[in-house]
Amino acid sequence: KAGVTQTPRYLIKTRGQQVTLSCSPISGHRSVSWYQQTPGQGLQFLFEYFSETQRNKGNFPGRFSGRQFSNSRSEMNVSTLELGDSALYLCASTLGAAEETQYFGPGTRLLVL
């Protein structure tokens, strides 16, 4: 079974631009979570979607948003990029309602110049 895939793997943007990252979960998994990883803050939870509904949200500004489609694929969007948004963005999928083990993708490395 294929793992979690994320596209693109690398991205360079300039301040003020916006970016959209994509995540395809493991086949059959219905929950997708997003995390930001930076050297200073470590791994921080952004949000989680299940059946196209956001169930949990971390402490990030409204510039960070996401959505999930009917096939469980998810996208996250960051508008008005800031230098501090440079990070590795990780997506994780979970089987469903009663499962808590999260399986991570390889991440998208975003550099904001």
Cβ atoms of 76 and 58 within 8 Å: the answer is: no
Tell me how far apart the alpha carbons of residues 54 and 76 are, in angstroms, rounded to a whole number.
12
Binding residue (CB under 8 A) for other proteins from 11, 13, 58, 79: 58
**Shortest separation between residue 50's beta carbon and other proteins, angstroms:** 7
**Does residue 48 interact with other proteins by CB under 8 A?**
yes
Selected binder of other proteins within 72, 93, 107, 112 (CB under 8 A): 107
102 near 20, Cβ under 8 Å? Answer: no
**What whole-number distance in Å separates Cα of residue 55 and Cα of residue 2?**
25
Kindly indicate which of the ranges 12-20, 42-50, 64-72, 77-85 contains the residues binding other proteins, using the contact rule CB under 8 A: 42-50
Confirm if 63 and 5 have CB atoms less than 8 A apart.
Answer: no
Q: Can you give the binding site for other proteins, defined by CB under 8 A?
A: 4, 6, 31, 33, 35, 42-43, 45, 48, 50, 55-56, 58, 90, 92, 97-107
